[in-house]
Each structure stands twice: as C-alpha cells, then as structure tokens.
Structure 1
Amino acid sequence: MATMKDIARLAGVSTSTVSHVINQTRFVSEEIATRVNTAAQELHYTPSALARSLKMNRTKTLGMLVTTSMNPFFGEVVKGVERSCYNQGYNLILCNTEGDNERMRTSIDTLLQKRVDGLMLMCAAVAGETLTEFERYPDIPVVVMDWGPTVATSTDKILDNSFSGGFMAAQYLIDCGHRQIGCVTGPLSQYQALNRYQGFQKALKEAGIAENPAWTIESDFECEGGYAAFNQLAATGTLPTALFAGNDMMAMGMISAANELGIKIPEQLSLIGYDDIRIAQFMTPPLTTIHQPKYRLGKAAVEALLLKLQNPQSEPQIIQLEPTLVIRESVIEQQ
C-alpha cells in the first residue's frame, strides 16, 4: 500500500507538501499540486481514514440504535438515515437491540468504542436512566427519534405528532358517519401508542361519542397482536362499525383475522391504520391510513446531529413532523 513518502519520492517534493495537498491544509502552487495528485493516482494511494480521524478528531461516522421489528416502518426510516448520511459524506453503523436490554448496552458500548461522531436512538427499550450513560461522553451529540425515549431533556428529539394523527384517524371515521368505533392500541407504555390513543379519545369526546371499553384493546404493534386483538373483539359478540388500528402492521393482522371469520372489510367493518408503510397500498382492501413522513424523519435526525456537531453549545430542540390522512378503500360511509 502506497504511503505519502512514496508519493513525495515520485513527485519530487517533501512529505509535508504531500500532506498539505491531500488534506488541503495549506496553499500549494497548482503545478506542485498537479504533480502530487498525479503521483497519488499512479500509486493508487488511498488516504487512511483512521489516521485522518485521529488528526481531525472526527470519524465521519454516525451510529444508530434501533428496535428490531418485522415492521417495515423501521426500514423506511433507516433508508432516510442512510441516504442522508451518504449525501453528507458520512458512514452509518446500525445496531439492532432485538428488544434485549443487554444487547442494547453492548451496542451502545460498540458505537462509542467505534468513536462515532453522533448517535441516533430509535429504541423504545432505552429507558431514561440508560441515557445517563451518554453523559460520560459529553462531546458526542445524541438525537432521540420517534420510538425513542422521550424523558431525555438534554438531547434533540425528532417526533411524529402522534396525538394529532390519532385524532385525525378517529375524526375521519366520525366524518364517515360512524358512531360505534373501536381501537386497537400499541403498548400504552410507549409514547407513540399512548398519544395516538389519547388523540383518538379526544375526537370521540368532542363528537359526543361514548367510548366502549370492550372495543378498546391494548396490543403490541405487530401483525400477530392485531390478529389476536380482532379475534378478542369478535368473541364479544358485537363488533363496532369501524376500528382504528394503532399501526398498519396490526391492521394487517386484523384484516387476516376478519377474512378467516368471514367478516368483510369495509362492507361490514371499516378499518383505518397508522404509518402508511409501503405495503399498505397493496393490502386487500388497500388500507386507509395516517401517513407518517418516515424518510423525512430519518433525514431530519441526521441534519440535527450534523447541526449539533457544528454548534455543540446550541440548545436542545424538538422537531415535530405532522402526519396526514391517506384515503384508500378500507373505510366506507356508514349508512
């Protein structure tokens, strides 16, 4: 592997001159710079990323800690993170927690040992006390993303306005004439699930619709949870005319359970989801849902980290992304 000394020897200049040309740390005449760059190309020279990171105290690498799930939502967010990192000339190290606290701690240690310039947390398992681990590394900015811990006060946060989204979902069902409305939530210990449910409740209350406890079930944001929740609802003997699923994955499981029970969606029961994962438009029927700007969520997290690297003393900020309604075919007007 060629070194700067090899380039200096071929170009007939000093090693320090080669360093200045490659790192652009001092003006060098165009004639000498051309000789150095030509020699570097002939020798197939590749700068050492490690050496450069030690000199600049930057690795041009960001770390991301994410909850493992079958939910394509996470993949769509990660796509936004990866593309933004690439566009900004950064590398990304992605660690999955698989819902395991020990693996989460190991992943945090790995990212810190790799000397990442900043961290993005999209892991609901990260409890508030765990964030104190990062206080030992005050020079490393942390951005908490949707599905991350919301108790942190010293970090930037990128969040979906889940309350508004839940309200929007219920309001659309109400506008379609439904008065018997149920809800399958995600784990209410999690910020997104609770806020979506509270938005749903507000819409019902403002419309003067009483919430039926038998039609409200807490689940797990996974297909299996939606499937089990629908069967639990069906077992009560009386179904509502419309249901709000806390995310599209649960809605998918609910559609499967309804199909097995011979319940037609939307003819017998309307269904609205949340997230607008790509597969939602290909469900049968195509799913009416609340769109969450997943790509922009990832992009905003990277931009917040880079801004923090440029201005370490800046105040923590909360960036809230607004959801929108996507109307397809799984909700019909109540006659």
Structure 2
Amino acid sequence: MATIKDIARLAQVSTSTVSHVLNSTRFVSDSVKDRVLSAVKELNYAPSALARSLKTKNTRTFGMLVTTSTNPFFAEVVKGVEAHCYLNGYSLILCNTEGDADRIRFSLSTLLQKQVDGLLLMCSEAEAPAFSQLSSQPNLPTVVMDWGPTDFQCDKIQDNSRQGGYLATRYLIEQGHKDIGCVSGPLDKLPSQQRLAGFVDAMTEANLPLQPQWQISGNFECDGGAAAFESLMQAPTRPTAMFVSNDVMAMGFIHAAYYAGINIPEQLSVIGYDDIELARYLTPALTTIHQPKQQLGRTAVEVLLERLNNPGSSSKTIQLEPSLVIRDTVKSRL
C-alpha cells in the first residue's frame, strides 16, 4: 500500500508538500499540485483512516449494540441509523448481543478499543452490570434507544409504549369487543410493562373485566406468539380479540391460529405492535401500532452528532409517539 513518502518520492517533493496538497492546508503551485495528484493516481494512494484518526482525535465511526438485527423491528431501525450515518460521513459498526451479558461486555470493549466517536445502545434486555465499562467513559456520547433507567451518562430516545398499548386496546373496544386479552412481552422488560399498562388503562377506562387467563407473557419472538395461542386455547373461555404486544409475536400467534382452524378475524381479532414492513404483507394484513422506526434511527444519529458538537450540554430524553394502523385483522362487532 502506497504511503505519503512514496507519493513524495515519485512527485519529487517533500512529504509536507504532499500533505498540504491532500488536505488543502497551504497554497501550492498548480504545477506542483498536478505532480502530486498524478503520483496519487499512479500509485492508487488511499489515505489511512487510522493515521487521520490519530491526528484529528476522531474516527468518524459510531458503534451500535442491538439485541438482534435479524428481528425485523431492529433491522428497520438499524437501516435508518446506517442511512443517516452515511449521509453525515460516518461509518457504523454493528454488534448483535443476542441478550447475552458476556457478548455485551465483549462488544463494548471492542468498540471502545476502536475508539468510536459515539455509541447507540438498543438492547433493553440487558442488565446494568454488563454496561459497567461506560461508567469510566463519561465523555463518550451515548444514546440509549427504548430502554429504562441507566447509571451512566447518556441521552435517551423512547417509544411511548403505554400510549401505544392504550391505543391498540381502545381500538378493539371501539370496534365493539368486550372480551379482550393481551400477549405481553417479557414482564421484566420496560416496554412490555408499559404496553401491558396501556392495555389495563383502556380496559379500566371502559369498565371491562380483566381476565387473568387471557393475559399471557411472551418473548417478543414468533415462537412466543405461537406458544401464547396454545395457552389461550387451554383457557375455559375465549376472548373475541387479542392485543399482541409486538408484530413478530402476532405473526406466530396468527400462524398457530391458522393451523388450529381459528379464522382471523372472523373468530378472533388480533392487533399487533411495531408496524414492521412484513405486517402489511401478512394474510390477512395485520392491524397494528406504528412505531416511527426510521425516525428513531435518524433521531439517534442526530442526537449523537449534536452531543459531539456540544459535549457539555445537559442530557435529554426524546419521546416518539405511536399511531394506529388499521388493516384487516380486527373484525367489528358493532
């Protein structure tokens, strides 16, 4: 790989002159500049990102930890993050944690060694001890996406999950349903707790009974939705509608219902949460709660860039609002 010294030797100039030409830091005559640029082209010279980072004290790289990029919700958020990084001249290093504390610690250590300019964290299942390394990095810009309390300095971007759970359940009620159940996510996770709380809010507001046998905890994965359906079928009575608190579980739930001969929505209405891209292509298309995933990714990068430019400003929390998307999996009983 060619170096500045090689360029200087071929162009018969000093290394400092080559540097000034490449960085436009001092006037250089056109004839000398042409010789330098001709040598650059001939030797296929590419500037060293490592050398530049050592000189400028930044790598123009962000690191991101995500539960798993194979889940459509996370994949769509990552797409928004990567696109906005590219538009601003930054690279993104993505690490999947798979919910494992050891992988979180290893990935964090790797990103810190690579001297990333900022961190994006989207792994709400993680326990705080896995992030202990960040306590010693108070000046590293960090944005936490859709997570609970933290014991390190960071900005936060959150989905109003309680409002989303309320919107989903209220829509079922408005369609005439009174016997309504809920498949929550893991109840030790804040988004799951908030979506379930929104379900309870809407049911209580409408003076409708909460049936414990129709409230099932899932795992935010397809198999969790299928297992929730099987549990529901064991109950002595059945609801007419279910709020399933993410689209991936809703897919598994509907799949299991199909093989059990339960027609969605004629016999059982279903509403999901997230509005992943696949939701509109299910048969029937999934009624769901939209999370602004592209906006979430874009906003996270914007907050990191703002933090880099204003490192001393106070931490902020930004809340993104969900909205209802009506498709075909909810039948009106009015």
TM-score, with normalisation over the residues of structure 2? 0.94
* Residue pairs, 1:1-335, within 5 angstroms: 1-28=1-28, 32-68=32-68, 70-146=70-146, 148-152=147-151, 154-335=153-334
Paired-residue identity, %: 58
Q: Deviations over 1:236-271 (max 9, x none)?
A: 131111110000111111112211221111011110
Letter of the 1:99 counterpart:
G
Q: Deviations over 1:32-90 (max 9, x none)?
A: 44443333223211101111011111111111111127521111111111111111111
CA distance in 1, matches of 2:27, 2:311: 29
C-alpha contact 2:105 2:131 (8 A) present in aligned 1: no
CA distance in 1, matches of 2:228, 2:83: 36
C-alpha contact 1:67 1:99 (8 A) present in aligned 2: yes
Q: Aligned-residue CA RMSD in angstroms?
A: 1.7
Deviation at 1:30, TM superposition (A): 5.3
C-alpha contact 1:178 1:241 (8 A) present in aligned 2: yes
C-alpha contact 1:243 1:271 (8 A) present in aligned 2: yes
Deviation at 1:111, TM superposition (A): 0.9
Unaligned runs of 5+ residues in structure 1 are none
C-alpha contact 2:135 2:152 (8 A) present in aligned 1: no
C-alpha contact 1:128 1:149 (8 A) present in aligned 2: no
CA distance in 2, matches of 1:186, 1:103: 22
- Match of 1:275, SS state, is coil
C-alpha contact 1:161 1:322 (8 A) present in aligned 2: yes
Distance 1:83 1:237, change over 3 A: same
CA distance in 2, matches of 1:41, 1:150: 53
Q: Greater CA deviation, 88-97 or 49-58?
A: 88-97
CA distance in 2, matches of 1:70, 1:16: 48
C-alpha contact 1:127 1:149 (8 A) present in aligned 2: no
C-alpha contact 1:69 1:98 (8 A) present in aligned 2: no
C-alpha contact 2:101 2:130 (8 A) present in aligned 1: no
CA distance in 1, matches of 2:317, 2:111: 24
CA distance in 2, matches of 1:254, 1:134: 38
Deviation at 1:124, TM superposition (A): 1.9
Deviation at 1:132, TM superposition (A): 3.4
Letter of the 2:326 counterpart:
I
Q: Deviations over 1:215-252 (max 9, x none)?
A: 11111111111111111111113111111000011111
C-alpha contact 1:273 1:288 (8 A) present in aligned 2: yes
Aligned residues: 334
C-alpha contact 1:180 1:240 (8 A) present in aligned 2: yes
CA distance in 2, matches of 1:225, 1:106: 28
Q: Greater CA deviation, 22-31 or 61-70?
A: 22-31
CA distance in 1, matches of 2:232, 2:305: 47
CA distance in 2, matches of 1:186, 1:241: 20
